[in-house]
Amino acid sequence: MFHTMAYMKNFIKDKDIASITPTSPFGVKRVCSQIDFARNNLIIEYGPGTGVFTDYLLKHMRNGSRLIAIERNKNFKTILQDRIHDPRATIINDSAENVLETLKACRSGEADYIISGIPFFWLPRDLKDRILLNTYRALKEGGSFLVYQTCFQTDQHLKVHLERFFPVVHSKFELRNIPPLRLFQAIKGSQSPGGNGNGNGNGNGSRSRRITV
Ligand SMILES: C[S@@+](CC[C@H](N)C(=O)[O-])C[C@H]1O[C@@H](n2cnc3c(N)ncnc32)[C@H](O)[C@@H]1O
């Protein structure tokens, strides 16, 4: 109830929050089922909101793991900071596109997982590209970018863009959420971004092309 009230109050004032209610426990569990909690991980969360994922991650992470949550909305950042007092967690008020600067400021290496709820369908193409490129760079080889979006969006909103940067992209649906979710897992390869194909999202080319934004 706390999450829903705090969330809706801020939703009215900020279009970038994009979804009217926090992600359901089913959605949170399904996204996080891609994480190997038996290992020590560096996890980055984009757009934690009131912290439904943050709470789940901190509950399941090992003591040697670390979580960096990057939230653009100042009210949500304050809510999280007032509520979460866990030495494994760092909460930053910034935009996801600045993830590389955040990692540097936190003296952290590359991440094992980056989880994102930010509304990609809403973002202009240049910002979307900057976030995807910097996300790719912020991940370890073999690391995963785990994205949850509302199910209304088409492949053009995000999937084809993920495929321009990441060699492997899986997609599925989680219906036990209002509205249902479209989930993606994009895995970083050993090549430079776009090295999976011809860089135009159809993944059937053989030439490697570095994407710059
Ligand atoms: C759909 S809500 C998800 C909130 C929460 N993680 C949940 O699952 O209930 C999207 C969140 O992303 C944040 N956000 C939007 N654009 C962002 C950006 N560029 N960088 C970081 N956070 C952003 C919004 O403020 C909001 O908290």
pLDDT digits (tens, 9 = 90+) for 150-187: 988 889 999 999 999 999 999 999 999 999 999 999 99
The residue whose C-alpha atom lies closest to atom 12 belonging to ligand 1 is 47
118 CA → ligand 1 middle, Å: 4
pLDDT of residue 192: 75
209 CA → ligand 1 middle, Å: 31
Q: Is 96 domain-assigned?
A: yes
What pTM was estimated for this model as a whole? Answer: 0.89
The residue whose C-alpha atom lies closest to atom 8 belonging to ligand 1 is 23
Q: Is 200 domain-assigned?
A: no
212 CA → ligand 1 middle, Å: 25
The residue whose C-alpha atom lies closest to atom 4 belonging to ligand 1 is 49
- For the chain, the domain total comes to 1
Q: Is 172 domain-assigned?
A: yes
Decide: helix, strand or coil at residue 67.
strand
Residue 115 exposure: Cα atoms within 13 Å on the Cβ side: 26
Closest by CA position to 167, among listed 213, 138, 198: 198
Task: Return the ligand 1 atom nearest residue 49 CA.
Answer: 27
Q: How does pLDDT run across 35-68, given as a tens digit for each residue?
A: 999 999 999 999 999 999 999 999 999 999 999 9
**CATH code of residue 111:** 3.40.50.150
Q: Is 209 domain-assigned?
A: no
**H or E element: which one contains 30?**
helix 25-32
Decide: helix, strand or coil at residue 162.
helix
Q: Is 11 domain-assigned?
A: no
Q: Is 194 domain-assigned?
A: no
Q: Is 4 domain-assigned?
A: no
b/e for 167-201, b at 16 or more Cβ within 10 A?
Answer: bebeeeebeebeeebbbbbbbbeeeebbbbbebeb
Task: Return the ligand 1 atom nearest residue 14 CA.
Answer: 25
206 CA → ligand 1 middle, Å: 36
Task: Give the structural domain span for 128.
Answer: 23-187
Q: Is 201 domain-assigned?
A: no
Q: Residue 93: pLDDT above 50?
A: yes
In whole angstroms, give the CA distance from residue 142 to residue 6. Answer: 36
Q: Is the CB of 48 under 6 A from ligand 1?
A: yes
